[in-house]
């Protein structure tokens, strides 16, 4: 599969990778740089309150290692009025707006192709943003190479990426239930509660907004680490007049703090 991916990447005259700071897009970016002239690869990112600062730092770090200058394009002013209502099509609306900004900018910077880290496993999930990607001509090299998440992880290992990197993640909007007004302030609150967990938690976790509660969902293996940050998270939530609820993702236990 690696050789197939290299062949696919080699067909692109110049490539812009939509780099979110997550594992899949990082693997794609590293693979593109290793199989092409580094000068023909562009890292481009939609910069908005939907992107946790942890990933901004990660993007700059990875691009620095690869000798790239990340293109961080502000998109919030354009997307905020469209996303504020936070309807059932928010993912599609978000991606459509983002691609509408990033695609022409990538072309203006010399890219002939724009691609993301979508895998074949992603095609099996409800991802309205994939419809926007198709409409805006975003390529999926991993899909073309028949690669799923496990294949991407293995490819990352072969390029020296560590297994204890950031867990799979999604944008901060996914923490806020559909129908609840999506504001910069609410996104910042979620990010600030998640912030102390990001450097230490290796499993998948989420801070979800509930009525009067910020619900911290985590995996059993990270229980002690999550609880060690509880006071800091409780203080942050308290400033917004909310409590903290911690819940194992297997549903075995739940604790509430006010």
- Amino acid 219: pLDDT: 81
DSSP state of 167: P
CATH number of 2-158: 3.40.50.620
For residue 107, pLDDT beyond 50? yes
- Amino acid 258: pLDDT: 42
Tokens 């999604």 found at:
170
DSSP three-state, residue 66: helix
Give this prediction's pTM: 0.90
Q: Are strands 213-218 and 243-248 parallel, antiparallel or unpaired?
A: parallel
Summarised one tens digit per residue, pLDDT across range 126-165 is 888 899 999 999 999 999 999 999 999 999 999 999 876 6
Tokens of 19: 């780099």
CB atoms within 10 A of CB 249: 14
**Residues 218, 193 contacting (CB under 8 angstroms):** no
Q: Where in the chain is the domain with CATH 3.40.50.620?
A: 2-158
Q: What is the mean pLDDT of residues 246-252?
A: 72
CB atoms within 10 A of CB 224: 8
For residue 90, pLDDT beyond 80? yes
Summarised one tens digit per residue, pLDDT across range 168-220 is 688 999 999 999 999 999 999 999 999 998 888 877 888 999 999 999 988 87
Domain 183-257 has CATH 3.30.43: no
DSSP state of 166: P
Per-residue confidence band for 251, with pLDDT thresholds at 50, 70 and 90: low
Q: How many residues does the chain have?
A: 258
For residue 252, pLDDT beyond 70? no
Q: Where in the chain is the domain with CATH 3.30.300?
A: 183-257
Summarised one tens digit per residue, pLDDT across range 25-39 is 999 999 999 988 768
Tokens 């990270």 found at:
222
For a pLDDT cut of 70, what percent of the chain falls above it? 93
- Amino acid 257: pLDDT: 47
DSSP three-state, residue 23: helix
Tell me what the pLDDT averaged over the chain comes to. Answer: 90
- Amino acid 126: pLDDT: 80
Query: Which range among 84-88, 190-194, 245-249 shows the weakest confidence by mean pLDDT?
Result: 245-249
Euclidean distance between CA atoms 74 and 48, whole angstroms: 6
Summarised one tens digit per residue, pLDDT across range 121-135 is 999 888 888 999 999
């Amino acid at each position: 599969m690696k050789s197939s991916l290299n062949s696919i990447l080699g067909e692109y005259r110049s490539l812009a990778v939509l780099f979110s700071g997550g594992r899949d897009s990082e693997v794609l970016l590293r693979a593109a740089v290793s199989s092409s002239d580094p000068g023909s690869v562009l890292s481009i990112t939609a910069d908005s309150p939907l992107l946790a600062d942890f990933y901004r730092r990660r993007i700059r770090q990875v691009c620095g290692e690869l000798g790239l200058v990340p293109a961080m394009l502000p998109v919030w002013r354009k997307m905020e009025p469209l996303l504020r209502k936070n309807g059932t099509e928010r993912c599609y609306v978000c991606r459509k707006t983002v691609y509408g900004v990033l695609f022409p900018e990538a072309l203006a910077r010399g890219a002939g192709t724009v691609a993301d880290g979508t895998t074949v496993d992603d095609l099996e999930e409800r991802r309205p943003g994939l419809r926007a990607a198709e409409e805006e001509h975003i390529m999926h090299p991993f899909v073309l190479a028949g690669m799923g998440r496990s294949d991407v992880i293995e490819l990352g290992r072969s390029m020296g990426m560590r297994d204890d990197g950031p867990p799979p993640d999604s944008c901060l909007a996914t923490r806020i239930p559909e129908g609840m007004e999506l504001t910069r302030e609410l996104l910042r609150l979620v990010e600030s509660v998640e912030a102390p967990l990001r450097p230490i938690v290796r499993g998948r976790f989420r801070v979800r907004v509930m009525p009067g509660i910020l619900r911290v969902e985590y995996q059993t293996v990270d229980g002690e680490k999550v609880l060690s940050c509880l006071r800091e998270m409780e203080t942050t939530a308290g400033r917004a007049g909310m409590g903290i609820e911690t819940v194992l993702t297997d549903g075995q236990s739940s604790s509430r703090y006010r």
